[in-house]
Every structure is written in structure tokens, then in C-alpha cells.
Amino acid sequence: MNKILLSWLIAACTLVVISYGGLFLGIRFFPGLFVEYNNPLFNSDGSRNVLFYTHAFVISFALSWFWEKFKGSIQGSVVMRGLQLGFIYSIIALLPVMWITFSSLDITVFTVSSWFLYGLAQAIIAGLVFAKVNP
Amino acid sequence: MKCTNTVWIAVLFLSTSSFVLPDQPGDNGLIKKWVVSKNSSLSVNGSTNINKFSCVIPAYNQIDTLTLRKNRNDTDVLLSGTIALSISSFDCHNSGMTKQLRKTLNEKQFPLLHIRFLSLNKIPVLTTKAEPITGFVEIEIAGISKRVEVQYQITQDDQRNIHLLGFHKINFSDFNLEPPQKLGGMIKTKDQLGVDFQLNMKAMD
């Protein structure tokens, strides 16, 4: 139980730094890629900022639960296990969600692809943490 | 009885003349009327931490009249007339930005932006050379009015069209509006906006 909690918290903190740090750097150095977010489709009054910044904890929690259930089926080195968790998450959760998102919202292929890759990277990083802390 | 009638006649004269007098300035007074033509425009320029935007109302679709009035003893020139601009006419050359500006300006509740002209610092000399003048206007956005001093440049071309270019910087917060922010505040719109307008007018004889 302690290992699950510990791996969740380590993964969450790692994702906070890498995800939001990456976003911050992306906005700073590639601002043109983010112009599409100036759209009322995206929340603009700051009322959901807390939810935005707790996403790393939510995804880490969900993935740590999944890892605990199925880690026996994910074999290989730490890197391979991390990659496997990332691809499993992408196929099971991200792909269908991005599919329905693109089909229903007025967003570009680039934006939905960036969300897919962002989620894939998050799951791989979380998988690497789980494989190391809770093998 | 005769005295009462005289008083009533005096009261009647004063009350009716008080409605007439403002349109008839005294000696050396001046009234000019300018009709705003349909090809007038307004633009709003702002920026975020990732880009700049320029939103335009390219063609004003109403005909309004501005009236200049200067009485002999006044130092300032009174300017009256209001321009009502439809928020839905804004075009930011990017559909997302256009929708965002309309939402930020609370278009559903306040579909019109008003510019009420109040005064000029002097009677302009209309020539082909741009003359800088200043004047007060009242800008009403999202139901909030703010009186501001605007820098103008005024010219008259060979076809006797009068071109009044106005410029002023406003803040979203002046009108109780919140500049939009995205992605947890990582993308922020700056509070300050530049408002430019060009009124093309004809003097009425």
C-alpha cells in the first residue's frame, strides 16, 4: 500500500514538473503553436485553474491503480515497462477520447495530435516511475 | 387677471425659448454638422503573451451626424453625436480570436459599443494637412461608460470628405471586464487595448 501511495506521489510530482514545465517552455519558445487556445472553447476566466493544475495527480492516481492491477503482465526492463504502460494507456484511453474530441469540437488535427502525444509522454513517464518504485 | 396672463406668457416664452436657444448660438456662434459615412471603421489592437491581435469593424453600417457647436463665450467646442457599433461586427482575422473578443466584451448582454462625442479643444481648420486636435468622448463597453480624452487628426480631402482619425488606449479593467487567460493562466491577454477609429464624414450645408 505504501509503495502504491509513494509511486503515485512521485509520479504526480514528476509530472507536475515535466508537464507544466514543458508547457511553460513550449509557450515561451514556440508561441505560435498555442494561438489556437485563444478561443472561447477553452476556459478563460481562471475558474478552473485548480482543476488544470491537479491533472497530474489525477492521471498519476489512475495509472498507479492500473499499474498495481496489471504490473505482472507488463514485463521487461524499466524503460520497456514504462513504454508499454504509455502505449497501453494511449490505445485504451487516449485514442478513443481524442477521436470523439476531434469529432465534436472545433479544433485542428495539430491540436488533438499534440494532446495525444502529451498524454502518451505523461503515461510513459509515470510508467518509468512505477517500474522503478513499485516493480 | 391681466397681470396673471402676462406672467403666463412670460413663462411660456422662457420655457419654449430654452429648447430653441442651444441650436441658435449668439453672435459669432457656430454650428457645423458632419454626416458620418458608411465606410468609417474602428479597430481594437491588443496582445497576449503569445501573439498580437487586431480586431476590426471594417465598415460602419449606419449614417449618423456629429454636430459641432461653439458659442461666443465658450472656450471649448461642443461636439454631439453617438456612434453605436455592433460587437458582432468585429473581425479578428481568426475565428477563435473573434469569438473570444465577442465573449470577453459580453456580446450577448451588451451587443453594442457606443462612442459618444462630447467636445473638441478647438474648431478644426479643415485642410489636406492633418491637424492634431484633442477632444473628450464617452466610451461605453459592456454597459460601463468611461469619459476619456482622445487624440485626433483631422483632414479634408479634395472631394471635401472630412477624415477624423482618433486614437486612445483603454483597459479591459476600466469596463469591469477580465482579460481572458488560458491553460491555467499560462496564456494571458494584456489588460491594455488600443482603439483606433476613422470616421469619414461630409459637412452638411
DSSP string for residues in B88-149: GG-B-SSHHHHHHHHHHTTTTT--EEEEEEEEESS-----SS-EEEEEEEEEEETTEEEEEE
Task: Return the sign of the alpha-carbon dihedral for residues B140, B141, B142, B147.
Answer: negative
Q: Residues B179, B172: contact at Cβ < 8 Å?
A: yes
**Sequence ranges of the domains in chain B:** 27-203
B97 φ/ψ angles, rounded to the nearest 5 degrees: -65, -40
Can you say how many angstroms the Cα of residue A11 is from the centroid of all Cα atoms in its chain? 11
Q: Pairing between strand B41-47 and B192-203?
A: antiparallel
Mutation for A interface: B102, B177, B182, B189, most A CBs within 10 A = B182
Is B100's CB within 8 Å of A23's CB? no
Confidence of residue A92 (pLDDT cuts 50, 70, 90): very high
Mutation for B interface: A44, A57, A115, most B CBs within 10 A = A44
CATH for B27-203 is 2.40.128.110
Q: What is residue B28's predicted lDDT score, i.e. its pLDDT?
A: 57
**Sequence ranges of the domains in chain A:** 2-133
A-chain residues near B183 (CB < 8 A) = 23, 27, 34, 37, 42, 52
Q: Nearest CA of chain A to the CA of B162: how many Å?
A: 37
From A14-18, A105-109, B33-37, the region with the lowest mean pLDDT? B33-37
Nearest to B178 among A23, A34, A45 (CB): A45
Return the residue of B nearest to A49 by Cα: B184
Q: Nearest CA of chain A to the CA of B96: how many Å?
A: 4
> Can you tell me whether residue B1 is helix, strand or coil?
coil
State percent of chain A over pLDDT 70.
Answer: 99
Per-residue pLDDT 10s for chain B (205 aa) are: 455 565 555 544 444 443 333 444 444 577 888 988 878 899 999 999 999 999 999 877 677 888 988 877 767 788 889 989 999 999 999 999 999 999 999 999 999 999 999 999 888 888 899 999 999 999 999 999 999 999 999 999 988 899 999 999 999 999 999 999 999 999 999 999 999 999 999 888 6
Q: How far apart are CA A46 and CA A48, in angstroms?
A: 5
Q: What is residue B22's predicted lDDT score, i.e. its pLDDT?
A: 40
Closest CA to A64 of A109, A103, A118, A10: A10
User: Does the predicted interface ipTM exceed a cut of 0.85?
Assistant: yes
